[in-house]
Structure formats: structure tokens, C-alpha cells
Amino acid sequence: MKQNIKLVVVAVLGSILSLVVYSQFIQPKVKIIEKEQSTLPVFRTSNSTGVVAAETLTDFTEAAEKTLNAVVHVKNTAIGIQQDPFAEYFFGRGYGGREYERVGTGSGVVISPDGYIVTNNHVIEGAKEIEISLNNQKKYKAELIGADKSTDIALLKIDAEDLHFITFGDSDTSKIGEWVLAVGNPYNLTSTVTAGIISAKGRDLEGNNNIESFIQTDAAVNPGNSGGALVNTRGELIGINTAISSQTGSFVGYSFAVPSNIAKRVIEDLMENGSVKRAVLGVSTQPKSDLDGVYIAEVSKGSGADKAGIKSGDVIKKINQVKIHKFSDLVGQLVAKRPGDQVLVTIDRDGVEKLMKVTLSEVSTFVSEAFGIQFGELKAKEKQDLNTEVGVKVTKINNKDLQKLGIRPGYVIVSINNYTLKSVADIDLIKKMVKSEESINKLVVINLQGERETFSRGW
């Protein structure tokens, strides 16, 4: 009996010893981890050891909340004239017309709590009356502070306080591929948000001779969005939506916005002066398809570029460290500057880069040369006397073909090949499309007697 008890005790002790050995040396250790409350997918960022919820990368709610109530509906009422064809036939054009109200709509962006609003010039152009509707349906009559056709920017003011407004961002630092929101009032709806990415920068649109430096996005923009806000994910204003690329009139893929740096400079000028002053380097450029940069064909004597030592044959590579790949990049940088501003211009001269400080000239004092003609800016009094809002003055002419037509200093060139000249700043743009004197097929001028004359090739 004792022998059996000993065997049982030995067996029990052996089992206990086996369990201890297994648990300490053989069984794999298991670390119990408490379940995290969040079940969102996570990933590690390249510049951080922490984890970021994937959902936050495409969260536009903060930007939308900042901007929705700061984008307004703009209604403009203009007066049109409906002609009576019978009266016109018997008594001449303009006789027997009947006035009627023409209503247009668009969007605007509140940029200050006291009621300053930026929109597109084409949204309010010709308006007799402008009405603003906030996102809460409150309506106000708006005053036009000023407008600039060339950049398609207008500034309005309503009598209101403590408004939601959007702060300006730096459009130069926005990047291709960056997420953006387009906020506006398409089809007379209240503020609507669409999302997309920046598809291109410095985009020039065919047939547009003014800005040539649009931000292109694939955010959906439709009729009524013009004048609305293009904002980044922080809710900062980086553009004013102004155009779409479409054969149907509705959004089919791309939209375009005036960069905020250009809009901001125009608005500041309109607030301070009621008009916009143009800044120029004082160079004429020549397109070269195989060149990364802008080739300088001529430098005007006495201009800021001339005084800084820039020469014909130099290639502009950067303005204030912003890369310049093509002419539209250069235009975008200069439009955002004022006369008297200093810019750092990086040029390539025979393979060697040089950095030059240039004081920008004012376009009204600037003289440009092209097609054997030296052009000067028309003063406001001269425009009034000639009853014209466009045109540049001939100050010197060496073009023998045009001299034979009687064109001489004092004549005003209104358009070349149907391209209107609003200021001497347009000369470089015209030169891109009219390659030589022989390519001039049509010319509209105002002669010394103040009469308009049109010349067509075959003169």
C-alpha cells in the first residue's frame, strides 16, 4: 500500500515539474495588447514615425465650413435694347429700339468682415444694379468700387458688418496635384462645394490675351460659378474661378481660376487708386519652343531691365526664385507686381546664370517697339477726347508699308489682325500671334482727325 502511495506522489510531482518547465522554457510568450478604440486604417508617413488616419487626408469639412458662408450670389441687372427691324430698315439703325432688363448671375467672395467682395468683371460688366445674396438669403445692394477687364477682376462693397470672409493664400506656393475646393453658386443654387486637384499652373487659354496665367483644376465648375472661390484644404483663397473649358457650356473636365496673388494686387490697386497700374520689366520676348525659360529679344532703353544690365539674348529662368518655364509664367509674376517693385531676376547668359535686381517700370511710361512702330500709352484725357477705351499711340514709325497708308506719329492703333490693343503691355502678346510685319492683314486705327479707319491686306 505504501508503495502505491509513493508512486502516486512521484507521478503528481513529475506532472507539476513538467508543467513548470513547459510554461517557462517551451511555451511561446504571448503579449496581450489592448484593443484600440479607432478601427480606421492607418499608415506611416515618410517623414514621421507616428501613424495618421487615412481618412484625414481627404477631409474637406474644415475648408468647406470656412468658405461656404463667405461665398455669395451676385445678380446684375443691365439695360438692353431690342431693335425694331421695320423701324431700323426705314429710318436707320438705332431708331425705334425698346429697352428691356437683362439679368445675369454669378458668384462672389467676401474678403473682409465689413463687406468687400471680389468677383469677375464679366459677371457685373454693364450692370445698372448689382444685388448680393448671402448664403443665409439676406440681400444687399452692392456698390462697384472698381473693375479691371484685363484680369477679369472686379471689387464690390455692401453695407454690412461681421461677415464671414475668406483670407488670401499664396497662389505661388500651390502645387500641381494639390487638393482644392471650388465654391460658388451654379445654376442659382446656394453655395455649393466641389473638389478636385490642381491640374496645371500658368495655363494660357487660346484666344485670351490678358492673364495667360490661370490655375487649371478638375473641380466641377458650371454656369454661375464665375467669381467664386478656389480654396486649398486650409480654406485659404488661392484663386477666383473664372472660366471653363467646354463645348457645351457646362463642365466637362477642366476649369480655370485667376491666381489669388494677381487678384489681391488688383484689389489693392482698386481700393487705393480706383484703377490698376501695370508693371513691366521693359523687355520684348520671342517664343522658342525648345527653350525652358523666356528668351529676351529686345531690351528697351531706360527701362528697369536695361538699368539692371539685362541684355538681348538672355533667358529669364526665375522671378523671385519662382521658376519661369514659359511666357505665361512670366506674365503671371509681373501682373502680381506693382510699378516700382523690385524683383530678383535669374537669367541664363551663354550657359552662366546671373542674378539681377530689377525695378519694374510703369506701363503708362513704357514704350514698346514692334513691326517697325514705336508705341506709347494713351492718357485718360486722350481716350476721352477720341471717345475710345482702347488703343495705343504711334510715337515713331519706320514701317514703309504703313507709312504709305498715311500712318504717322499721333495715330492710334486700335487693333491688329482683330487683336485689340488695350495698352502697350499687349504688344508682346500681339507679337506672339503676329510673327512679322508681313503677317499684318488687318489694321484698325484712329487718325489725326479722330476718325476710325480700317485697312486690310491688299493696301
Question: Where residue 89 sits, what CATH number does that domain have?
Answer: 2.40.10.10
Which residue segment(s) compose the domain that 393 sits in?
368-456
Catalytic residue among 73, 133, 152, 260: 152
Task: Identify whether residues 305 and 394 lie together within a single domain.
Answer: no
CA–CA separation, 19 and 11 (whole Å): 12
CATH code of the domain containing 294: 2.30.42.10
- Of 257, 274, 256, 272, nearest in space to 148 by CA: 274
> Is residue 227 in some structural domain?
yes
> Is residue 23 in some structural domain?
no
Task: Identify whether residues 358 and 422 lie together within a single domain.
Answer: no
Tell me the pTM.
0.62
> Is residue 27 in some structural domain?
no
Residue 188 contacts residue 224 (beta carbons within 8 Å): yes
Judge residue 448's burial from the number of C-beta atoms within 10 Å of its C-beta, 0-12 exposed, 13-18 middle, 19 or more buried. exposed
Task: Identify whether residues 176 and 263 lie together within a single domain.
Answer: yes
Length of the chain: 459
Known active-site residue 436: no
Q: What nine digits make up the cell of 392?
A: 495705343
Catalytic residue among 112, 122, 218, 245: 122
Catalytic residue among 174, 226, 303, 368: 226
Task: Identify whether residues 269 and 287 lie together within a single domain.
Answer: no
pLDDT score recorded for residue 374: 80
pLDDT score recorded for residue 296: 93
Task: Identify whether residues 203 and 149 lie together within a single domain.
Answer: no
Q: Where are the beta strands (DSSP E) in 325-391?
A: 342-349, 352-359, 361-362, 368-370, 373-376
> Is residue 166 in some structural domain?
no
> Is residue 103 in some structural domain?
yes
Known active-site residue 300: no
**pLDDT tens, per residue, the chain with 459 residues:** 555 555 545 555 555 555 554 555 545 444 433 334 433 333 333 344 444 433 445 678 888 988 999 999 999 888 766 666 655 555 555 455 566 677 888 999 999 999 999 999 989 988 889 999 998 889 999 999 988 887 889 999 999 999 999 999 999 899 999 999 999 988 776 778 999 999 988 776 654 444 457 899 988 887 788 899 999 999 999 999 987 655 555 556 678 899 999 999 999 988 887 778 778 898 888 888 888 999 998 888 888 999 999 999 999 999 999 999 988 888 888 888 888 999 999 999 999 999 999 999 876 545 556 777 888 888 778 888 888 888 888 887 877 778 888 888 889 999 888 888 888 777 766 776 676 666 777 889 999 888 898 888 655
Known active-site residue 226: yes
Task: Identify whether residues 151 and 77 lie together within a single domain.
Answer: yes
pLDDT score recorded for residue 35: 36
pLDDT score recorded for residue 252: 60
- 450 Cβ neighbours under 8 A, 6+ residues apart: 385, 386, 387
Structural domains counted in the chain: 4
Task: Identify whether residues 303 and 339 lie together within a single domain.
Answer: yes
Q: What nine digits make up the cell of 168?
A: 488670401
